Structure 1
Amino acid sequence: MTTKTIQKRTISPFRYDIVGSFLRPERLKQAREQFIKKEITHDELRKIEDEEIIDLIRKQEKAGLKAITDGEFRRSWWHLDFFWGLNGISFKVPDHGYQFVGEETRAGTVTVTGKISGENHPFVEDFKFVRDHVSEGTQVKQTIPAPAQLLIALTIGEELADARKFYDTNESLVDAIVQAYQTVIKDFYDAGARTIQFDDCTWGLLVAEPPDGIPLLEGQTELGAREALKHVFVDINNRVITGLPDDLIINTHVCRGNYHSKWAFSGSYDFVADPLFNYENVDAYYLEYDSDRSGGFEPLKLVSEDKLVVLGLITSKSGQLEDRAVIIDRIHEAAQFIDLDRLALSPQCGFASTEEGNVLTEEQQWTKIAFIKSIAEEVWGD
């Protein structure tokens, strides 16, 4: 059911787009290592970060990207750095990292150490830096982990006991997370942000085989817990979105894990499409579709008519280019379930969700982006 008229995209998401993170340059990796060893100061590290981000901004603009990021160059993790930037949340080193297929990540998580709030989040100043260094007409996209992602981080395993020291119920914890997020987002908005992206692996958790021991809903069957969690996740994300300015775009990226080219979860969107696609109040979904781990396109028929979908058909986990004809065919296959005019194209995830980065070169990274741009121009003429 393709539309006859293709509209030019002037706000995020654009026809060819990115998820957010980029491979860290070697100079930046070395500087971060020197800082950890106390061989350079924080100001010296910051200066190198500034220089590398400015260089990245220029490369993104040269590549023709219309909404750019700082590549997450100031972060070690795509999510944890944002979490511990909130008041009342601290970094913690657990006994084990996250388990991915074929690899365990380095260990890191967050825990509640006080009342949670969002004042003076350091990411706001980071946003201002990018804002001040882009060319006129270039839009800046701010990526942050979804509120549901923080809820899961604070209620799985030992972290639940720490949360209970300050919040007696899940409801009171959710209230605090919602308020903290709204505070940070308001500060982003006041600084000029008009596009914010919620990166969200919670849906990847649910599309997989039922996980053991979900503490949010103790006493229920695993399937029952999964069913209920769908609505818990949509509810907390929607509560944060409620009341935000009308001209603030909120998009979301649904992820199955991205660490050193490994993945954590496998499963189609069928189980989560309702309520994810029809009740979450975002403007667009960036969806992984680079392998058969994501299933087919049929769930896209549930996407509300006012929302867009960015097809992550190009993998960021490998430097090898996909078959151009196959990608174009898959775009039109997806258009059987959602109008072509409501579709766009991107990598399936960032190129470096953590500072380790995926297993490809920077040259291959930029070649992928050029490949995406050329396909989008052929399909949509935009």
Structure 2
Amino acid sequence: MAITYDRKTPHRFDVVGSYLRPEYLKEARKNYKAGKISEEELHKIEDQAITDLIQKQKEAGLGVLTDGEFRRETWHLDFMWAFEGVGHQPTTTGLPFAGEDAMIDDTYLTGKLSYKHHPFVDHFKFVQSFEDEKTVAKQTIPAPAQFLEQFEMPFALENTLKYYDNLEAFHEDVIKVYRAFIDELYAAGCRNLQLDDCSWGLLVDPRGPQFFNTDQAGLDKIKQEFLDINNAVIDNQPSDLTITTHVCRGNFHSTYAASGGYDDVASFLFEKENVDAYFLEFDDARSGGFEPLKYVSGDKKVVLGLVTTKSPLLEKKEDIIARIHEASKYVPLDRLYLSPQCGFASCEIGNKLTEHEQWKKIQLVKLVAEEVWG
């Protein structure tokens, strides 16, 4: 089973998408917010940082290119801010993660959702310009279900219902703006789209009823809503657009928001969500075991996130290989792939490791993939 380069994702050794920002890029963003440099100057610095990153990705042997999410403050909110009807402001409370609050902007509706040209399309075009015979560009965005979570959680619901008579009408507009964005992205040449999705991560946590202010029957209803809105967007797309998803339990400064195995969502997520592949966290005990993978239906692929991005400690190659073979009891080896468990910097602050340690992790993923599938 030799490793070959493919125009479709995932690749045998892959990445979720975000990378640690270099210090000069962080400094430039601070200077821009302080009014010391112009937006044009910031964009030029971003362009240089992404150009350098893409060169490093190619040198690492990666066949999938991303911009590292270097133009974003957070993995999901910048995408939402670009739609009409979404506002944001600096938070005063933050979101509770394990041992640390994520101080990311409060984000809320200011009116009904509508679509205009989205800057992520231009971001994609920049990365696409670096493609060659061995590499392909991938665009990452938050999943539609993540949009529902953001604006329907108990703390946000009252505001959302100021602008929508009911949630069904809100869902219809979410589907419309996602379809409009993907239409524009596809026209720009994108054929590999990744939907990042923390919504399922909150549902697997024992505190799920508390998070969503409901009971088990209510959680099952939410699972169906998340599944339905994701599939409403996925099923409308061209057949040559590969759509994958990354399921996350939170990733901020090496902390996490939720814990729990995939057992309680597997019959929804793995069996019924119509993606081409799942990027799944399996880096520690918080993620549970591999048994829920038995629900993965059809010929869908699974990218095992066995190398953590939350710690600089380098895993042992032999341990990763053993876990891949354990997972193959539930999904055939030829439909299994390997990546780090999450991005290295879901938010601008990044995780607690150095760039050198980041690339050592990616090199380990490559070495293991070549030994298992090469």
TM-score (norm 2): 0.97
* Equivalent residue, structure 2, for 1:86: 83
State how far apart, in whole Å, the 1-side matches of 2:367 and 2:314 are.
13
- Of the three residues 318, 322, 331, the one matched with 2:311 is 318
Does residue 236 of the first structure (1) align with residue 233 of the second (2)?
A: no
Q: Deviations over 1:240-269 (max 9, x none)?
A: 112200000000000000000001110000
Cα 1:75/1:107, change in 2 over 3 Å = closer
> CA 1:153–1:350 in structure 2 vs 1: closer, same or farther (change >3 Å)?
same
SS of aligned partner of 2:360: helix
Q: How far does residue 115 in structure 1 lie from its aligned partner after superposition?
A: 2.0
1:129-208 to structure 2, matched below 5 A, reads: 129-208=126-205
Query: What residue number does 2:250 align with?
Result: 257
Q: 1:139: how far off?
A: 0.5
- The amino acid across from 1:89 in the alignment is V
Map of 1:68 onto structure 2: 65
Indicate the residue corresponding to 2:349 in structure 1: 356
For 1:213 and 1:337, how far apart are their aligned partners in 2?
32
Do the aligned partners of 1:109 and 1:153 also contact (CA within 8 Å) in 2? no
Residue 302 (str. 1) matches residue 295 (str. 2): yes
Counterpart for residue 284 of structure 1: 277
Report the equivalent of 1:275: 268
Correspondent of 1:248 among 241, 252, 255: 241
User: For residues 270 and 351 of structure 1, what CA distance do their matches in structure 2 show?
Assistant: 26
2:218 alignment partner, one of 219, 225, 236: 225
In the aligned structure 2, how far is the partner of 1:214 from the partner of 1:332? 35
Asked if 2 retains the 8 angstrom alpha-carbon contact of 1:283 and 1:308, the reply is yes
Partner Cα distance (1:59, 1:188) in 2: 25
Amino acid corresponding to residue 67 of structure 1 in structure 2: V
Query: Residue 347 of structure 1: which of 336, 340, 345 is its match?
Result: 340
CA contact (8 A) 1:23 1:362 kept: yes
Instruction: Figure out how many residues of one structure are paired with residues of the other and give that number.
Output: 373
Identity of aligned residues (%): 51
Q: Which residue of 1 aligns with 2:331?
A: 338
Residues 24 and 183 of structure 1, relative CA distance in 2, 3 Å threshold: same
2:285 partner letter: D
Classify the secondary structure of the residue corresponding to 1:153.
Answer: helix
Q: Secondary structure at the match of 2:208?
A: coil
Query: Where does residue 107 of structure 2 map in the other structure?
Result: 110
On the 8 A contact 1:345/1:376 being kept in 2, the answer is yes
CA distance in structure 2 between the aligned counterparts of 1:134 and 1:228, rounded to whole angstroms: 42
Instruction: Judge conservation of contact 1:6–1:341 (CA < 8 Å) in 2.
Output: no
Distance 1:244 1:339 in 2: 27
Among 36, 43, 49, the residue aligned to 1:46:
43
Kept in 1: contact 2:279–2:305 (CA 8 A): yes
For residue 103 of structure 1, report the CA deviation from its aligned partner. 0.6
Q: Give SS of 2:45's match.
A: helix
Closer/same/farther in 2, CA of residues 379 and 44 from structure 1, 3 Å limit: same
CA distance in structure 1 between the aligned counterparts of 2:176 and 2:134, rounded to whole angstroms: 32
Q: What secondary structure sits across from 2:344 in the alignment?
A: coil
Query: Contact 1:210–1:223 at 8 Å: present in 2 too?
Result: no
- Which of 116, 123, 128 is residue 119 of structure 1 equivalent to? 116
Residue 367 of structure 1 aligns to a residue in which SS? helix
Q: Distance in 2 between matches of 1:327 and 1:148?
A: 31
CA distance in 1, matches of 2:29, 2:111: 28
Q: Quote the offset at 1:119 in angstroms.
A: 2.3
Do 1:57 and 1:70's aligned partners in 2 also have CA atoms closer than 8 Å?
A: yes
In the TM superposition, what whole-angstrom CA distance separates every residue of 1:63-89 from its partner, at most 9, and x where no partner exists? 111111000000000000000011111
User: Is contact 2:195–2:245 with CA below 8 Å preserved after alignment?
Assistant: yes
Q: What 5-or-longer segments of structure 1 have no aligned partner?
A: none
| Root mean square deviation of aligned Cα | 1.5
Residue 297 and residue 6 in structure 1: after superposition, are their counterparts in 2 closer, same or farther (change >3 A)? farther
Match of 2:286 in 1: 293
Task: Confirm or deny that 1:210 pairs with 2:207.
Answer: yes
Q: Is contact 2:3–2:370 with CA below 8 Å preserved after alignment?
A: no
In the alignment, structure 2 segments of 5+ residues that lack a partner are none
- Output one character per residue of 1:91-132: Cα deviation in whole Å (capped at 9) or x when no partner: 133441111111111142311112212320111111111112
Distance 1:51 1:265, change over 3 A: same
